[in-house]
């Protein structure tokens, strides 16, 4: 990873933070996108300690906002002449249905649309930097989910678990369609399931989930263990030419039938384009 630049969202705690620290130790320069300035500065401090003098940087953005995601994506595209890896990792689950000022349900906005918008914003730079990689954090929570294209925002019926599962299904469908669209460019696109990890995930969910998660963490993987497949997909020569895959514990796995539906993947991409605008 020496001389390479990695742009990463959701990298100030948990799996994302451990992944960027590991990649920095391998020689990568890290560009963070974070919501919280204090945590961003703390992570930059850690990066500087483990891999000093590489010019690690941080940008602040609310990735549940399409406008802010477009802004920070454009800023990074304009300031980074080379991007070797884009890591889409920011995500959350919310017990109550709330919508963003742009009218999107928050889980869908943060867990799916931010992936879509960041990849679109940096796509030109990734192509120009090829060989390059996009790695996105999905989950086996997709397995019980299905997409309702007539109700992508969960307005008819909402539960936090259902919305989260659908967003993770969307991550895998996004990966499949993005891989198809980047085919032949030298840019690979893959996603992975990190496992249940002891991290900040669930701390802002609300309701009974926020009460249960601290108890469940006693049986969870460490963030380093959860980050292992992310680091592998971002750096290993073994997967340099692999694209469109869903990985678990460094192995390519078969997701649910709904996640293998290429027609749904294309339909989701077109719906996302319509929501995102030009």
Sheet of 57-60, strand order: 57-60, 29-34, 5-9, 85-88, 132-137, 187-193, 246-248, 251-253
Give the Cα separation of 60 and 79 in Å (integer).
Answer: 15
Say which DSSP state 204 is in. T
**Is-contact 83 132, C-beta < 8 A?**
yes
Catalytic residue list: 164
Residue 37 neighbours by CB under 8 Å, 6+ apart: 60
Closest CA to 68 of 38, 104, 43, 96: 104
């Amino acid at each position: 990873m020496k001389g390479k630049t990695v742009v990463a969202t959701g990298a100030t705690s948990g799996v994302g933070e451990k992944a960027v620290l590991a990649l920095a130790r391998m020689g990568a320069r890290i560009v963070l996108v974070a919501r919280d300035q204090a945590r961003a500065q703390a992570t930059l401090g850690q990066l500087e300690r483990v891999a000093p003098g590489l010019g690690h940087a941080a940008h602040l953005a609310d990735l549940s906002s399409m406008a802010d995601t477009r802004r920070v994506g454009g800023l990074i595209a304009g300031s980074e002449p080379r991007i070797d890896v884009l890591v889409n990792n920011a995500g959350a689950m919310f017990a109550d249905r709330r919508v963003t000022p742009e009218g999107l349900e928050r889980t869908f906005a943060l867990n799916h649309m931010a992936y879509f918008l960041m990849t679109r914003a940096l796509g030109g730079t990734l192509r120009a930097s090829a060989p390059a990689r996009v790695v996105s954090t999905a989950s086996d929570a997709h397995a019980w989910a299905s997409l309702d294209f007539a109700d992508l925002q969960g307005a008819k019926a909402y539960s936090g678990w259902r919305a989260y599962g659908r967003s993770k299904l969307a991550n895998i469908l996004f990966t499949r369609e993005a891989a198809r669209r980047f085919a032949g460019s030298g840019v690979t696109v893959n996603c992975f399931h990190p496992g249940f990890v002891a991290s900040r995930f669930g701390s802002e969910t609300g309701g009974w989930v926020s009460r249960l998660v601290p108890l469940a963490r006693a049986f969870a993987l460490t963030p380093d263990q959860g980050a292992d497949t992310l680091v592998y997909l971002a750096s290993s020569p073994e997967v340099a030419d692999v694209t469109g895959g869903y990985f678990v514990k460094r192995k390519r796995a078969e997701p649910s039938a709904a996640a293998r539906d290429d027609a749904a993947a294309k339909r989701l991409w077109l719906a996302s384009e319509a929501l995102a605008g030009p």
